[in-house]
Structure 1
Amino acid sequence: MAARLGRYRWRVCAMLLAATTINYLDRQVLGVLAPFLQGEIGWSEQQYGYIVSAFQAAYAIGLLCAGAIVDRFGTRIGYAVAISVWSLAAMAHSLAVGVLGFALARFALGLGEAGNFPAAIKTVAEWFPRRERALAVGVFNAGSNIGAVLAPLLVPVVAATLGWRAAFLFTGILSAVWLAVWLLWYRTPEAQPKLSPAELAHIRSDPPEPTVEVPWLRLLRHRQAWAFVAAKFITDPVWWLFLFWLGKFLASEYGLSLATLGLPMIVVYLMADAGSVAGGWLAGRLLARGWALNRARKGAMLACALCVAPIVLVTQVHNLWLAVALIGLAMAGHQGWSANVFTLPSDLFPRQAVASVVGIGGFAGAVGGIGMSLFAGSQLQATGSYARIFLIAGAAYGLALLVVHLLAPRMRPATLDGTGGSP
């Protein structure tokens, strides 16, 4: 059947995978170099927290704008604008000489990178029927882990050979290459001549959706939107923690150097990569076995939440690879969780509103991430201990699932023609 339908939609998914890989490679360069730039430039733990928070603040602002821009101008133009901004911002890091310079470059990078997920989620909603969306999201979301794997693999080599400034230039150039391919190649399903009629019918096999345009502020009248916002606000800070503090944690706790840091980080992100795909696959498998959407989605989210919980023990172990296993399991759980959470907007809202809902939720997640960064920086500055930080991380997912269930107990799609929405 797959051969008869065609697989063009999965080529689109591959482009989203490549964009997300570059997106995370760009932002992870600083995370890999941070333990060593900190010594060279003289950041304190709190100043590093401020630099990270500058990215997250811009990311939050950008998500509010990006979702609306993508919904208004479409995925082709919206994605192109976003990656143009983040490509230039990534290369601008090479000009930084101090805390302020890095903070400004991170702020610009956050504005551009904010467009990736609203554009990618809307593209999935345009190119995949509901029953395939969690898997498609899981596949492209795996790019966040591939980028994070490539960063410790490539960045130390480039930095050692050409200097740390060249590492930032290298990732910016990759973004520019993707942009050229996207503008030349991408079209919507109805405008893509290479798409077979059978595959187009498969993509549009869901019941017709209303074409009403809804301002994003009006979306917040719906409990379904708040379910997604809450899930992002509570759990995204944990991912930001891993993204920007993992290298520092491993370097400080286990005495790793730039040369030895790469392998543990690669193992961790490979595990996260597997978790991203597995989380999307599990939800799709449960749906295929006849589970209702509500039960399948939340069942997969529960399984992922249980994978994160053991992270509370990581500060009590003294073996590097046991710590890597616990962190990798937690990150796999987070990415599987994200594959399902990112599918909630397309489960609960029509395509026209998906990018806006993703943008609002991403804003909430980035705001939560700012709080986590400031807390982590002040906690480490005061105590040097990660214990409370990882305790919060381990408890976040169970709390988030409870809130999602209370706000959307039956996962009933929102009705956008009124002022409210049924849960």
Structure 2
Amino acid sequence: MIFVTVVINYLDRTNISIAAAALKEDLGINAIQMGYIFSAFGWTYSILQIPGGIVADKVKSRILYPVIMALWSIATLIQGMVNSFAALLGLRAGIGMFEAPSYPINNLIVTRWFPENERASAIATYTSGQFLGMALLLPVLTLIQDALGWRGLFIVSGIIGLVWAAVWYIFYRDPQNHNRIGSSELKHIEEGGGLVAMKEKNKTNKFEWNDLANAFKYRKLWGMYLGQFCLGATTIFFLTWFPTYLVEFRGLDFIKSGFYASVPYLAAFLGVLLAGFTSDFLIKKGHSSEVARKAPIITGMLLSIAIIGANYTEDTTLIIVFLSIAFFGNGLASIAWIFVSLIAPKKNIGLIGGTFNFIGGLSAVIVPIVIGYLVQDGDFSPALFFIGAMALLGLICYTFIVGKVERIVPKE
């Protein structure tokens, strides 16, 4: 269910990238303005990550998730009815606001439902939704837009989210409230480190400012935060400017670009699944968390630097190969959420997850605007150099700053 939710989440984040070329022409929007529209989602999404994490800790996931899902779906649908730069900017910011608690909720659910030695696989499975969903949906979305126009694309996307919000409310339960889970399974999860009863234990806890201080005073948390920002730079390029890069800079046909664009997403999907299941396999074989959890992330950031190779060829196949290697690496590194569930203080997992996604989400604010300025003369080469440099910085963060993978126990 989280996997499907993530697919819809990213559908509503990224359909703007499919619509961008037609939307720019119809509404007379230039590249710099388009950069701000791409970025608007990140403004509210990143700013509200910490409040979203706090709310995720306090409100039942069964209630909170369908409410925010319905709200961001309505904002998505209304995008198909507007005619101005300002309206699009506001609606994109609205989608970011309502999606803000989503990944802290995802992480909380996995922390409740899975023992630690299965958690990377679970995180990889739902995270893969953002890549497989777009790999399968990009060609479909281009065909929908070809048939119904960019307005129809937004309306169809919004309706899908509204339907799934109802499905979530009907079927989701936390493990201790699920009528199909037995005592032996609950025991298996809890003895393996799954926090199945965390809601009951934490429901009387009031927010304290010391909790917020805990989110910012540990070096290993800052290594995670900055690494997530760098990881996000590659992701955001593919979620925003990538279709424009193929159509306007590389001159591909719009329909054909949808099929070409799906290849790097498939590569990222394979990368995240490989990382998750390999990481858990290494843990079960007795390897340390430093090896099992960090190796996929460090390897992935290294591979992401390959995006620069696309600047040195005019061959479409080679361009897609370089971009696919880079996004495969991004997929490998996307299990970084495992560090939140393993390192954050137990009572602040939602808050730390929100902080992690807040700083990571700042990439969605900064990167689209930076790229908009870098490509305003029509040349995407500086943008790819910029993305490659961010991947290198992320590699440094995870290698030298995160340190030993162990849960933080704050002093009372």
TM-score in terms of structure 2 length? 0.92
- Which residue number in structure 1 is paired with residue 387 of structure 2? 393
How far the C-alpha of 1:414 sits from its partner, in A, is 0.4
Report the equivalent of 2:232.
236
1:343 maps to 2:343: no
Which of the residues 337, 341, 353 maps onto 1:358?
Answer: 353
Q: Does 1:168 align with 2:175?
A: no
Off by >4 Å, runs of 4+ in structure 1: 207-214
Choose which of 382, 404, 409 in structure 2 pairs with 1:410.
404
Aligned partner of 1:275 in structure 2 is: 271
Displacement of 1:351 after TM fit? Answer: 4.5
Contact 2:219 2:402 in 1 (8 A): yes
Q: How far, CA to CA, are the matches of 1:76 and 1:354 in structure 2?
A: 18
**Compared CA separation, residues 392 and 254, structure 1 to 2 (3 A):** closer
Q: Distance in 1 between matches of 2:231 and 2:66?
A: 28
The alignment's C-alpha RMSD in Å is: 1.9
Q: Distance in 2 between matches of 1:404 and 1:16?
A: 26
- The structure-2 alpha-carbon separation of the partners of 1:375 and 1:87, relative to structure 1 and needing over 3 Å to count, comes to same
**Match status 1:136 vs 2:136:** no
Residues of 1 paired with 2:300 and 2:59: CA distance? 35
Measured after TM superposition, the shift of residue 236 of structure 1 is 1.0
Report whether the alignment pairs 1:46 with 2:36: no
**Contact kept? 2:304, 2:325, Cα under 8 Å:** yes
Verify the 8 A CA contact 1:28 1:151 in the aligned structure 2.
no
Q: How does 1:250-399 map to 2 (within 5 A)?
A: 250-339=246-335, 341-381=336-376, 383-399=377-393
What do residues 24-82 of structure 1 show as CA deviations (whole Å, max 9, x unaligned)? 11122111121222122221110001111211101112322211111111322221232
Matched, 1:148 2:134: yes
Q: Provide the rounded CA distance (Å) in 2 between the counterparts of 1:312 and 1:218.
A: 38
Amino acid of the structure 1 residue aligned with 2:288: A
Measure, in 2, the Cα distance between the counterparts of 1:65 and 1:58.
11
State the TM-score, normalizing by the size of structure 1: 0.90
CA distance in structure 1 between the aligned counterparts of 2:83 and 2:181, rounded to whole angstroms: 49
State the SS of the aligned residue for 2:252.
coil
Matching residue's letter, 2:342: D
Cα separation, 1, equivalents of 2:401 and 2:148: 52
| Letter of the 2:159 counterpart | I
Q: Tell me what 1:92 maps to.
A: 78
Q: Please, which of 184, 191, 205 is the counterpart of residue 177 of structure 2?
A: 191
Per-residue Cα deviation, 1:146-192 (whole angstroms, up to 9, x for no partner): 23124322222222323321211111111111111111111111111
Contact 1:64/1:360 (CA < 8 Å) preserved in 2?
yes
What stretches of structure 1 of length at least 5 have no aligned partner? 1-14, 419-423
Q: Tell me whether 1:55 sits opposite 2:41 in the alignment.
A: yes
> What is the alpha-carbon distance in structure 1 between the residues aligned to residue 111 and residue 52 of structure 2?
16
Q: Distance in 2 between matches of 1:401 and 1:78?
A: 35
- Between the aligned partners of 2:99 and 2:328, the Cα distance in structure 1 is 22
Q: Give me the whole-angstrom Cα distance separating, in 2, the residues matched to 1:239 and 1:352.
A: 30
